[in-house]
Structure 1
Amino acid sequence: MNGTRLLDTIHSPADVKRLDFGQLQELCAEIRAFLIDSVSKTGGHLSSNLGTIELTVALHKVFATPSDKFVWDVGHQCYTHKILTGRREGFDRLRMLGGISGFPSPRESEHDAFIAGHGNTSLSAAIGMAQAKKLRHEPGKVIAVVGDGAFTGGMIYEGMNNIRSLNNLIVVLNDNKMSISKNVGSVAQYLTQLRTSPRYFKAKRDVESLLDSTPVVGGAIKAGIQTVKSAFRRSLYHSTMFEEMGFQYVGPVDGHDVKELSMLFDAYRQEQSAPLFVHVLTIKGKGFTPAEQNPGEFHGVSAFDVNHLTDPDVAPDSSFSTVFGQQLAQLAGQDERICAITAAMKYGTGLQYFYKQHKSRFFDVGMAEQHAVTFAAGLAANGMRPVVSIYSTFLQRGYDQIIHDVNLQRLSVLFAVDRAGLVPGDGETHQGIYDAAFFSELDSFQIVSPCNYAELAYWLERLLLEDGPRALRYPRGAEDEALAALDCSGLEYDVFRAEGPADAALVTYGAQAKEALAAAKLAAQQGVCVDVYKLTVIHPLPQGLCDALGGYRSILFAEEGVRGGGIGEHLAAALLERGCNASYRHIAVPNNGLTHASVDELRARFGLDAASLAAAIMKQGDVK
């Protein structure tokens, strides 16, 4: 290659197909070095992508997208796929405004078959695509790449129960023994059994090969064996689950042997008689020792210096998540009824502190948000005080259970909603913009949205003492210095008065209060006095709020949530019922136009930054 990197010659999947096995191995090494260097500069998901390089290269060696469809579960592991499909140059702006997404995106490339930001979805989507190919008489395979962590969620089993005889469907289990937090439960133990004793499958292949080559009687003997093979497997190995669901099972296979993987996929691409389940063993963080040793630490990272890495045992930087986790652990020491529940996000939600101090009352249910909610309802129904800590974007998946199992019975479950509001980097799949709207549709819920650590600590303790369904929602990352200076009044809302009489009121809550206060200062510089109302309790609306707002000529409500069903709409309806004649405007996040960018860039895009709010106030008040 005259000193040219193989990676520099890859501009499309077709370029991968011309490489021999030795070159494929070299390409994998170059991709691994590229990803470590690139992600260290931009941030992103590192461990999961380092673990799936050989698997992805082998898939592109054998199959041909977009005719063949790759469906990634969650999508954290799609970086190599993006590199091989012509997007390597975009990695310098990974997850940034105008750059490439950190997840598969059909709008970004024809090679991305399905958007994937949440877990357990790939198999159901892949089954639909495979069935559509059958109905439309289209060639090609549909390959779902599923992490072992996804098997802690129920959708996977719903999908497996509906595979029928789709001989154009291949499911690849990327078994790295770890989801984001360490895998838990019976399925994890079952997969461990499969990993440790592959000899049954070798024996099975050898026997079948012998019988196929035996004339006359071989076929008859093989047919007879089929009638007793389930009992035979149980007696030898207890490995029947995938095959009894209808799959042809192959594995476990070394997920870092690109030659073996390529040859396996090629064999079944040409001749596949049933849905195929390929069990692939990988190492999360492969090739980067710190990530191999601490894959959770390097799951999703900000930019870092590869030569000066932080010690994962050192306490992480202060954030709403860590403050919540530390405070909850402390309060649980005073009340033995308090339990903590998360869905594969022990570290992301700050619950590692609770786990260390109160292990018997800590429950990580895996990627099973629906179960987490109803499990909490069961705990509450029998006298415990459960706290369910889940990212806003993932809690959406448990909404039916929130309505039916918690709300209808008025059970005392506290939802700690992490990453509420606008979220940087991960883009449209991870925005926490719906929780205020969907919780506020339920009259029994009290919703609190603190803007700083002091309010978070105060309201967490207070809500744990109250009964009924409650939600405490807070943003990603650290508190803002300006909002930290406000401390905590303990009131349901605070009013920040302008220096002169104000005809306009700007109402908001949570982290958005930073922009509202700054907007009021900008308006004051133009001679316009604006009072800022910062809500802490956002549902039900605080008593006296509507009366207090009744005297203003114009009211502007700003929130980092969706407009439809948002808190701003609730306030508008309440003011209308009271006959308020003020001019009212509601600025919120639209349901379209979401992208990956910083929070400041997103606020500016949606008119929620200080400058835009100040301009809106001036226009609303007809101030020249």
Structure 2
Amino acid sequence: MEHPLLETVNDPADLRKLTKDQLPALAGELRDFIIDIVSTKEGHLGASLGVVELTIALHYIFNTPADQLVWDVGHQAYGHKILTGRRDVFHTNRQLNGLSGFPRRSESRYDTFGVGHSSTSISAALGMAMASNLKGETEKHHIAVIGDASIASGMAFEALNHAGVSKANLLIVLNDNAIGIDPSVGALKEYLTNVKKDRQLAKNNIIKALNFDYSGPIDGHSLPKLLKELERLKKKKGPKFLHIITTKGKGLKKAEEDQVKYHAPGKFDKHTGALIVQPNKEEPPKYQDVFGATIMELAEQNKKIVGITPAMPTGSSLKYMMKKFPDRAFDVGIAEQHAVTLAAGMATQGLLPFCNIYSTFLQRAYDQVIHDVALQKLPVIFCLDRAGLVGQDGATHHGAFDLAYLRCIPNIIIFAPRNEIELRNIMYTAQLGLDFPIAIRYPRGRGITLDWKKPFEEIEIGTGVELKKGKDIAVVTIGNMAQNASEAINNSMGKERIAHFDLRFLAPMDENLLHYIFSTYKKIVTVEDGSIKGGMGSALCEFAVKHRYKNKIKILGIPEQFIEQGSVEELQFAVGIHPKSIAVQLNKFL
């Protein structure tokens, strides 16, 4: 497809050479370019399509990168990347050694702040603006683009509260499309909906009360309106707030009609928008769907069970419980800290809260896990989806640290199922009643078991299992790495010499099993889909030191570095936990 205007824009300076009358045509070309690439390479579609006109207008009016632009979240920054010198390599987006799917400071001087998690833009841009004031750079502009789902987060409110009493030259653009990944929720969402309808409310709203120069709402797809208002705001000093209304998926009919599915739709026909469906074959379920089906099954039997997720009902598959038991399943919006303490409050009253949070997002609620849950021994059941390497979303989204950051906390049980049946059974066990909170971590994607809906069986807390006997080497795994290790052992030269154990619980560890392993096998290999530093291998080394064992231990896992984007298989190769990589290490050890 031809893109004559877009091909002349290698950076925003080229963009500013165009006339305002040319910009709508450029917007059409930019939209087509995004659709063209994402339809075959996959990625986040709807959010970037919704801000095409805004992206052009911001770079046209402001002198980026001297004027600093922060996106919140980076899902919507594809157009920004294409206009800032990355058009010709945009086809590598989210691929191994390619562009990051999110803004990244090391990738471009136009990416002023890395944004893989939400609700950070106002704090970051305010920090930049205050620094400019201190340095005497009073003509410099600082712009934060934030969605209506992100601005409902506590961190965004904290930043608004501070910005309103600052003298910072800050512009906040609220991209209001009433949806994040799933539809936005909460009282603020309802308030914004009313502001759009009631002009009087727009004149006297909560943003004005926080000392911002508020304008809008305006049509975020009208370049003339955007350009005019941004020109006006550019001349004003102090904190400013522009409220724009957009449509997520704008320009692709199916993406506008099904905004949840087309947030990141996979491959699709670029002309019709129809998803490219793979041939129908029986496959193991996704772990998230095992969770979704199991919590509904348990909730039917146990009325104390409630479900909580911070803005990921579709991604976590809690949406099924929300539909069947709407009074017992809650999407609390992008508010991980609130989700954890809400669950703690419910637990004090005898409920059994299943708090489903992606591993990488639980990092945002670390204090609440320690202070509000573990310290008080409240039996919250954390279900940590997307644990381990997650693929193309890259460094901000890998669940690399949960084993390490949870293991040091007292009063918490940590379990990783090696398959779907174990996930069902630990969820069943947890709702029978525990004296402590439990964190259940499981990976993104499909499992390994077709016939997974077995009758529930209780799991004894703190017990590991022997999966295979051996003579010389013991391989100890946790979670889904059992599958990788089993495959590696079967492909090793001396497989009859290699034993395999699934630790299952990182806390409390099965010390009886560990004494057996350390007293029986001279060489031990540990394999985990998590950080080597502080993880399961570290725990076994600590055990060995405590009990004065002298065994040789080889630790395989995610090294002490941030892992970038790529397929899960590529990344497992890169860090050495792919079955073929493990087999190489086993052969060396033999």
Q: TM-score, with normalisation over the residues of structure 2?
A: 0.93
Shift of the alpha carbon at 1:614?
2.6
Partner residue, 2:79? 80
Q: Check if 1:409 corresponds to 2:358.
A: no
Note if contact 1:152-1:365 (Cα within 8 Å) is conserved in structure 2.
no
Distance 1:391 1:32, change over 3 A: same
Shift of the alpha carbon at 1:91?
2.2
Shift of the alpha carbon at 1:21?
2.3
Partner residue, 1:156? 156
Distance 1:486 1:87, change over 3 A: farther
Q: Check if 1:309 corresponds to 2:275.
A: yes
Partner residue, 1:94? 93
Partner residue, 1:186? 187
Q: Distance in 2 between matches of 1:316 and 1:63?
A: 50
Q: Distance in 2 between matches of 1:406 and 1:316?
A: 37
Secondary structure of the structure 2 residue equivalent to 1:411? coil
Note if contact 1:72-1:146 (Cα within 8 Å) is conserved in structure 2.
yes
The one-letter code sitting in structure 2 at the alignment partner of 1:290 is K
Shift of the alpha carbon at 1:457?
1.1
Candidates 189, 206, 224, aligned match of 1:259: 224
Which deviations, in whole Å up to 9, do the C-alpha atoms of 1:188-220 show, x marking residues without a partner? 11111211123x4xxxxxxxxxxxxxxxxxxxx
Note if contact 2:39-2:267 (Cα within 8 Å) is conserved in structure 1.
yes
Distance 1:434 1:487, change over 3 A: farther
Which deviations, in whole Å up to 9, do the C-alpha atoms of 1:37-77 show, x marking residues without a partner? 21111111111111010000000111122101111112110
Candidates 475, 478, 483, aligned match of 1:506: 475
Shift of the alpha carbon at 1:497?
2.5
Candidates 486, 497, 505, aligned match of 2:468: 497
Distance 1:40 1:429, change over 3 A: same
Note if contact 2:307-2:354 (Cα within 8 Å) is conserved in structure 1.
yes
Partner residue, 2:524? 555
Which deviations, in whole Å up to 9, do the C-alpha atoms of 1:96-151 show, x marking residues without a partner? 10111110001111110000011111100110001111111234211000100012
Q: Check if 1:426 corresponds to 2:425.
A: no
Which residues of 2 match residues 39-58 of structure 1 at below 5 A?
39-58=38-57
Q: Check if 1:330 corresponds to 2:330.
A: no
Note if contact 1:483-1:514 (Cα within 8 Å) is conserved in structure 2.
no
Distance 1:571 1:526, change over 3 A: closer
Q: Distance in 1 between matches of 2:128 and 2:191?
A: 29
Shift of the alpha carbon at 1:572?
1.4
Note if contact 2:267-2:275 (Cα within 8 Å) is conserved in structure 1.
no
Secondary structure of the structure 2 residue equivalent to 1:171? strand
Candidates 558, 579, 582, aligned match of 1:613: 582
Distance 1:486 1:531, change over 3 A: farther
The one-letter code sitting in structure 2 at the alignment partner of 1:444 is N
Note if contact 1:546-1:575 (Cα within 8 Å) is conserved in structure 2.
no
Which deviations, in whole Å up to 9, do the C-alpha atoms of 1:139-190 show, x marking residues without a partner? 4211000100012211111111111343521000000011222111111111
Q: Distance in 2 between matches of 1:310 and 1:618?
A: 42
Q: Distance in 2 between matches of 1:25 and 1:460?
A: 53
Distance 1:7 1:488, change over 3 A: farther
How many percent of aligned residue pairs carry the same amino acid? 39
Secondary structure of the structure 1 residue equivalent to 2:486? helix
Partner residue, 1:221? none
Q: Distance in 1 between matches of 2:551 and 2:107?
A: 44
Q: Distance in 2 between matches of 1:77 and 1:560?
A: 29
Secondary structure of the structure 2 residue equivalent to 1:298? helix
Give the number of aligned pairs.
Answer: 577
Shift of the alpha carbon at 1:374?
0.4
The one-letter code sitting in structure 2 at the alignment partner of 1:477 is G
Q: Distance in 2 between matches of 1:510 and 1:488?
A: 19
Partner residue, 1:36? 35
Q: Check if 1:20 corresponds to 2:12.
A: no
Q: Distance in 2 between matches of 1:557 and 1:527?
A: 16
Partner residue, 1:520? 489
Distance 1:528 1:611, change over 3 A: farther
Secondary structure of the structure 1 residue equivalent to 2:440? strand
Q: Check if 1:600 corresponds to 2:566.
A: no
Partner residue, 1:470? 438
Larger radius of gyration: 1
Distance 1:487 1:336, change over 3 A: closer
Which deviations, in whole Å up to 9, do the C-alpha atoms of 1:356-414 show, x marking residues without a partner? 11100111110000000000000000111111001111111111000000011101110
Candidates 533, 536, 552, aligned match of 1:567: 536
Shift of the alpha carbon at 1:263?
1.9
The one-letter code sitting in structure 2 at the alignment partner of 1:530 is I
Candidates 280, 286, 289, aligned match of 2:253: 289
Partner residue, 1:371? 338
Partner residue, 2:65? 66
Note if contact 2:74-2:116 (Cα within 8 Å) is conserved in structure 1.
yes
Partner residue, 1:210? none
Secondary structure of the structure 2 residue equivalent to 1:44? coil
Shifted more, 532-541 versus 413-422: the winner is 532-541
The one-letter code sitting in structure 2 at the alignment partner of 1:177 is A
Secondary structure of the structure 1 residue equivalent to 2:582? helix
Structure 2 unaligned residues grouped into runs of 5+: none
Distance 1:487 1:39, change over 3 A: farther
Which deviations, in whole Å up to 9, do the C-alpha atoms of 1:519-569 show, x marking residues without a partner? 21232x257721111222222112422122121111111211112221221
Partner residue, 1:535? 503
Q: Check if 1:461 corresponds to 2:460.
A: no
Partner residue, 2:173? 172
Partner residue, 1:229? none
Which deviations, in whole Å up to 9, do the C-alpha atoms of 1:283-310 show, x marking residues without a partner? 0111111111111111123223444437
Distance 1:594 1:528, change over 3 A: same
Shift of the alpha carbon at 1:612?
2.5
Distance 1:154 1:613, change over 3 A: same
Secondary structure of the structure 2 residue equivalent to 1:360? coil
Distance 1:368 1:318, change over 3 A: same
Q: Distance in 2 between matches of 1:568 and 1:526?
A: 23
Shifted more, 170-179 versus 450-459: the winner is 450-459
Q: Distance in 2 between matches of 1:605 and 1:310?
A: 30
Q: TM-score, with normalisation over the residues of structure 1?
A: 0.88
Candidates 214, 219, 238, aligned match of 1:249: 214
The one-letter code sitting in structure 1 at the alignment partner of 2:440 is L
Q: Distance in 2 between matches of 1:591 and 1:299?
A: 32
Note if contact 2:285-2:449 (Cα within 8 Å) is conserved in structure 1.
no
Shifted more, 607-616 versus 549-558: the winner is 607-616
Candidates 326, 336, 342, aligned match of 2:309: 342
Secondary structure of the structure 2 residue equivalent to 1:32? helix
The one-letter code sitting in structure 2 at the alignment partner of 1:572 is C
